[in-house]
Amino acid sequence: MAGKPHLYELLAVEQEKKANAERARAQTLEGFRQNQAHFQGLRRTFKPFAVDEAKGEVAGERLEAETQLARTVAEELDKTLALTADAFDVSYLIDEGNTVARADLVVGGKVIAEQLPATFLLQLEKRLREVRLLFKDIPTFDPVRNWVPDATADKPNVLRADPVVTVRKQRTRKYNVMYEATKEHPAQIDIVEIDEPVGEIRAYDWTGMISPGKKAALLLRTDELIEAVKTARARANSVQVDPDKKIAKRIFDHLMEPLG
């Protein structure tokens, strides 16, 4: 990266550099364990004490077998540790940058909190998303009914609905005289079963739920805050870091000193 990189640029490449270093480490480790012959060379010769010149035999040393040295431990370590050092330095610069990466948390022009560290803003976004899941499952009362605060309740934020009034009825018989009795004929009576009102039922309901409107307002405010956190984190991560502040070379120079 030319010049002083921004923290967000380092964050963008950190995982790739870590993956490259881990891949190189795994391959080198496999070579150390499975392909030790690659680190060995062999040359075997034979020199006879006497030769039969009549048969065309030539005196001197003769090559019988040879295998080339394919690798050295030092060069394998150099290649692997170079990638490891690159990943080390990026992580170091990120952590170094995070010590100064800060930004205000602003929602709708209002400063909610000042100079929050970038690392905290990352955690804050995660926690706010968990809070949003909580808000999403808040139960709400039926908005069709009229709910009012109940001053007599033993808890705060208790609402009472207007009572629902219904009439209780009872099945009964009604006798209607169709014809009065005479000397010749008994009275003719029509019997009808009816549901006769016998009283009034009043159903009172209380709730500790909130209105759908208030729930929607909570979710909207949470979404706005999450977006503000993301914006703040982007501002915090725009801080520049000094690419010359590296640590890996000193660490690996110390480790590799016995091979020097």
Structure confidence by residue, pLDDT tens digits, 182-230 = 777 777 888 888 888 889 999 999 999 999 999 999 999 999 999 999 9
Task: Please tell me the distance from the alpha carbon of residue 65 to that of residue 77, in angstroms, as a whole number.
Answer: 29
- Decide if pLDDT at 48 tops 90: no
pTM: 0.68
Q: Which of 78-82, 112-116, 156-160, 176-180 has the lowest mean pLDDT?
A: 176-180
Beta bridge partners of 165: 202
Q: How high is the pLDDT of residue 32?
A: 86
d(CA 100, CA 231): 17
Q: Is the dihedral of CA 208, 213, 214, 215 positive or negative?
A: positive
Whether the per-residue pLDDT at 1 is higher than 70: the answer is: no
Q: Cβ(98)–Cβ(122) under 8 Å?
A: no
Give the largest Cα separation in the chain, rounded: 170
